Amino acid sequence: MKRVGSALGWNAVPGLPATALKAAAALLASSALGALVIALHGITGTGATTRDFPPFINMWIRWDAGWYQGIAENGYSFSSTEQSSAAYFPLYPLAIHALVRAGANPFIAGIALTIACGLAAFCLFWLWAKRLAGPNAANVATQLFLLWPFAFFLYGAVYSDALFITLAVGAFLFLERGELFPSVVLGALATATRPVGPALILGLLVRRIELRKKAGERLAIKDLAPLFCALGIGAYMVFQYVKFGDALAFLKAQGAWRQEPGWSSLLKLPFLGRVFRNGAYGDLVLPALHLTMAIGFLSLAGPTRKLLGTGYAVYVVAVLAIPLVVSRDFIGLGRYCLAAFPCFLTLALRLETARARRTWIAASTLLLAVMVSEFAIGHYIS
């Protein structure tokens, strides 16, 4: 165990245990808040996949959790006209399936997997941020990351975000260390986890070239290795071709959610048409919040390029542009900001005064509490 800890650099990084403790505390606080809100308010939304568990567990089983349960227990299905599981990338439900085979309940398995990946993501993020900007900036950035309004998707929600972010941060961390092979392996696993995987491929490739040039070294064929991260999404496409006769089944399945690429999705025409036709202007509030968050993070691409490097700026733009283009109503963009993790370090470096940091953290924490409460009672917020 001591050898493993030394290899990861844990013994030499006193801030890492504190990061793990903070993440665990945030998880416990979110669970307590969600359970309290359910006890006082009840579950009123339509996203309650099951009510067979106590509130502090039940609160994490919402919306996409049912799809992951179905894949883990029954495998994939595909339809271009009705919602089908082919839209969900395979690594997260495969991990749940492995735990189910070992005897676990699929929902409990999903929650445990998210918690483990969430803790790993925050710890890896601290190590990555420390390498780029030092321990003080890493501490601030990790706090901003932990308290982002949608960070609870890394605390226990049965969604694949925690797994993807763990793999993405790990891939960049290994790349910074000059360890190309593990970086590519983690990158390939990440592209088999979320449809924003191509953004990671592009970001890793640009960052690898950038690091080589910064070191004054000539580029070589091996510097194109991040392109092999596409093996993850490629393997899923091969599987879908064999099973459904269509390598792009995952993309076509998005049509049933009206989230396929195109001008209609880009301009959000169906959503805006419904709002203005029905006069439901209040329905614009939540989408506007998500859009504001996404635009805010996109505006950090320039400072990210200056402070962290071009590769990270490219990654941030790409990982936010993909959902921005295909989202039907902007909802979800705030959650995708978690994948744009370099922005949290950029924010930490730009929030220069203690007062600015306290103000940001207070506002973010308040929004986090609201979002946890809404998610717990089954309201669709992301």
Distance (Å, whole) CA 203 – CA 331: 24
Q: What is the pLDDT of residue 282?
A: 62
- Residue 280: inside a domain, yes or no? no
- Residue 165: inside a domain, yes or no? yes
* pLDDT tens per residue, range 161-178: 999 999 999 999 999 999
What is the number of domains present in the chain?
1
Question: What size, in residues, is the chain?
Answer: 382
User: What is the CA 257 to chain-centroid distance, rounded?
Assistant: 20
What sign does the CA torsion over 29, 31, 36, 38 have? positive
Confidence of residue 200 (pLDDT cuts 50, 70, 90): very high
- Residue 294: inside a domain, yes or no? no
- Residue 292: inside a domain, yes or no? no
Q: Note down the domain range covering 161.
A: 19-256+353-376
- Residue 124: inside a domain, yes or no? yes
Higher model confidence: residue 131 or residue 41? 131
Is residue 5 predicted with pLDDT exceeding 50?
no
- Residue 144: inside a domain, yes or no? yes
Q: What is the pLDDT of residue 91?
A: 98
Instruction: Count, in order, helices (H) and strands (E) of the chain.
Output: 20, 0
Is residue 9 predicted with pLDDT exceeding 60?
no
- Residue 73: inside a domain, yes or no? yes
Burial class (CB within 10 angstroms; exposed 0-12, middle 13-18, buried 19+) of 186? buried
Q: What is the pLDDT of residue 4?
A: 34
- Smallest Cα–Cα separation from 365: which of 136, 154, 158, 143? 143
Burial class (CB within 10 angstroms; exposed 0-12, middle 13-18, buried 19+) of 136? exposed
* Cβ-contact 173, 127 below 8 angstroms: yes
Q: What is the mean pLDDT of residues 176-202?
A: 97
* pLDDT tens per residue, range 277-291: 666 666 788 888 999
Structure tokens that stand for 370 in this block:
């609201």
Greatest alpha-carbon span in the chain: 64
Is residue 258 predicted with pLDDT exceeding 70?
no
Is residue 96 predicted with pLDDT exceeding 50?
yes
Q: Provide the Cα torsion 77, 79, 83, 84; round to 10°.
A: 10
Q: What is the mean pLDDT of residues 99-108?
A: 95
Query: What is the pTM (predicted TM-score) of this model?
Result: 0.92
- Residue 343: inside a domain, yes or no? no
Q: What is the pLDDT of residue 263?
A: 60
Is residue 259 predicted with pLDDT exceeding 70?
no
* pLDDT tens per residue, range 45-86: 766 667 778 999 999 999 999 999 999 999 999 998 889 999
Is residue 261 predicted with pLDDT exceeding 90?
no
